[in-house]
Amino acid sequence: MKISPKLSSALKSGTATRGVQVGAAAIVIGLIFWRLQFSTDAICCGDFDGYYHIKWSRMLWEGLRNRGFPPIFTWLPLTTLNPKDYVDHHFLFHILQIPFTFSDERLGAKIASVIFASLALLSCYWLLVQHRIRYILVWLVALLACSSPFLYRLNMAKAPPFAIIYLIAGIYLLFKKKYRLIAPLAFIFTLTYDMFVLLILAVLIWVAVIGWTERRFEWQPIVWVLAGTAAGFIINPYFPKNLHLFYQHLKIKLVPSDFSTKVGQEWYPYNSWEFIGNSLVACVAMVVGYIAFDPADRKRAHHSLFFLIFSTALMIMTARWKRIAEYWPPFAVMFSAFALQPWLVGAGSALTGRSTDLLKELQPFLDRNGPGPQPIADDRMELARTIGAAVIAVLLGVVMLFNLRATVGDIKSSESHDYYRAGAEWMRANVTPAQRVFNTDWDDFPRLFYYDPSHNYVSGLDPTYLFDRDPALSKLYDRITLGDEEDPGPLIRDRFGAHFVFTDNAHDKFFNNAIESGWFDIVYEDTDCTILRIRDQKGEPPQVLPGSGVINDDQEPLPDEEPSAE
């Protein structure tokens, strides 16, 4: 069929307009995330995991160059991430970071974070543009204003931005019913990050939605998503160990009660006011979406019903685990956008309070695209909508500015890039390589790994890794680091196989016990950290002097032998 030049021009114009909208949004989003990311000189933020991710990406590249791929992970030998059982469950994410490791790894990680975070938010906006959601600029501001924790967590140099990108791609394929393409998407998602379970959830929700709106069982997306996920597990350099690690993650993290061991703060819930205050726009978007959703219009309801269920599930997860704040807020905004779309175009039955069947009968009288002069009421309604959209955009802009200001402040408060650098480099220069260091905080590991990869450590990346491998040793680790063991030296030496202790300067109870026990010498100290060495024999407590630098220059030479791991 030949398309008329007029229609062809209109189609091209619509495509060009959408391209301009997405391009302009990309610039705005990129500038905002650049500002947020470079509010600190460190690899952003909150935790130190970005240091591990960029360092390991570099090591993967070196392994490829030296034909030792994947390299052996030797840095956490007492945990489930020991050399025999290590699994990189961010494997493809680390591969995608490799191009950013060739010069300054810190700068590379920050630039990668800006690009990945921008693409994640832009993908949400792109989906709205693709479905011709009205007042699209309002929704762009809403996405940027949806949640301060969302902006903060998206700036972390970690894998969640890819989860959002893959989810948006999956939703687009579901909406277009291009189910076969979900298989390669699920394959890539599984290799990238273990939140691929959200794609499976999205598929199951879509199948239920199709069952309700079209009264049929849509089995194909289930088959393709499971096939792609299975391939991601099997066609994997860590198969079958990755299956065990995934099971351990589910077993430890997905519990209705408290965790069996202390985990990162991101796995604990918000309190109610913190939840609402941090994500006010997302909460309002959910309420608006619930009110605007029109279940009577079964033909048009499948997109908005999908987002209703999916965003509600994410909201419940966010109430349970803080870390889902990096997923739920933008999907809350998209739910509101799709639920409001029939109102904004005058097609929803809820707009007039009449049933869909009655609207069909009245359509010849309500058709705004028909010939003849348009009713004045329609023009007034459109003007009212435009004014309302402008007012809402202004209000959202104010919230966005407050959120950006708060997020910049939070990121600025992160520890600087040089935090622990001097202490870690002292160990690298003065402690025999391959020795084990007892780190008193599991979450200090990424920076120690970044600055001093010449030694291995007791706990890192997640405390559950030590607990899963040896619950008794994990509980002993907690007692020692919390200061509940008054004589920790022999326990650290004999049970953990370490002769050196790296601690921040906040573990007062542990530090006082260690010094008073007579088993430790202070070999290094600065404003960020202290390094202790376990003596061969118990003696008099060392003299603790104010200041920083090497405290114990007059002690005997550091041991050359590698201590036993037993």
Number of helical H runs and strand E runs in the chain: 24, 5
What amino acid occupies position 454?
S
pLDDT recorded at residue 239: 94
Mean pLDDT of 227-256: 86
pLDDT recorded at residue 261: 52
> 549 has which bridge partners?
525
> 525 has which bridge partners?
530, 549
**Contact residues for 275 (Cβ-Cβ < 8 A; gap 6+):** 283, 318, 319
Mean pLDDT of 474-497: 95
Q: Is the pLDDT of residue 247 over 60?
A: yes
pLDDT recorded at residue 553: 42
Q: What is the pLDDT of residues 433-455, one digit of tens each?
A: 999 999 999 999 999 999 999 99
Mean pLDDT of 234-249: 91
Mean pLDDT of 279-308: 88
Plot region of 174 (φ>0 → left; ψ -120 to 50 → alpha; else → beta): alpha
Please state, in angstroms and rounded to a whole number, the distance separating the CA atoms of residues 344 and 341. 5
Q: What is the pLDDT of residues 4-59, one digit of tens each?
A: 565 555 445 577 888 888 999 999 999 999 999 999 999 998 789 999 999 999 99
pLDDT recorded at residue 9: 57
Q: What is the pLDDT of residues 383-417, one digit of tens each?
A: 777 888 889 999 999 999 999 999 999 999 989 99
CB 157 within 8 A of CB 53: yes
Residue 445's CB: how many other CB atoms inside 10 A? 26
Mean pLDDT of 54-73: 94
> 437 has which bridge partners?
457, 500
Query: Which range has the worst mean pLDDT, 91-95, 116-120, 232-236, 319-323?
Result: 319-323
Helix (H) or strand (E) holding 437: strand 436-439
Q: Do β-strands 456-457 and 436-439 pair in parallel, antiparallel, or remain unpaired?
A: parallel
**Contact residues for 244 (Cβ-Cβ < 8 A; gap 6+):** 85, 87
pLDDT band for position 554 (cuts 50, 70, 90):
very low
pLDDT band for position 251 (cuts 50, 70, 90):
confident
Report which of 505, 520, 530 is spatially closest to residue 423, judged by C-alpha positions: 530
For residue 433, cis peptide bond before it (omega within 30 degrees of 0): no
pLDDT above 90 as % of the chain: 69
- Round the average pLDDT of the chain to a whole number and report it: 86
pLDDT recorded at residue 385: 78
Decide: helix, strand or coil at residue 300: coil
Q: What's the pTM?
A: 0.86
Residue 241 structure tokens: 């160990």
Is 35 exposed, middle or buried (CB count within 10 Å of its CB: 0-12, 13-18, 19+)? Answer: middle
pLDDT recorded at residue 53: 97
pLDDT recorded at residue 543: 74
Query: Quick one: DSSP state of residue 240?
Result: T
**Contact residues for 62 (Cβ-Cβ < 8 A; gap 6+):** 71
Query: Which range has the worst mean pLDDT, 41-50, 166-175, 251-260, 308-317?
Result: 251-260
**Contact residues for 17 (Cβ-Cβ < 8 A; gap 6+):** none
Q: Is the pLDDT of residue 267 over 70?
A: no
Query: CA Rg, the chain, in Å?
Result: 28
Residue 508 structure tokens: 């007062």
Please state, in angstroms and rounded to a whole number, the distance separating the CA atoms of residues 544 and 340. 66
pLDDT recorded at residue 357: 46
Q: What is the pLDDT of residues 148-157, one digit of tens each?
A: 999 999 999 9
pLDDT recorded at residue 364: 47
Q: Is the pLDDT of residue 158 over 60?
A: yes
pLDDT recorded at residue 342: 86
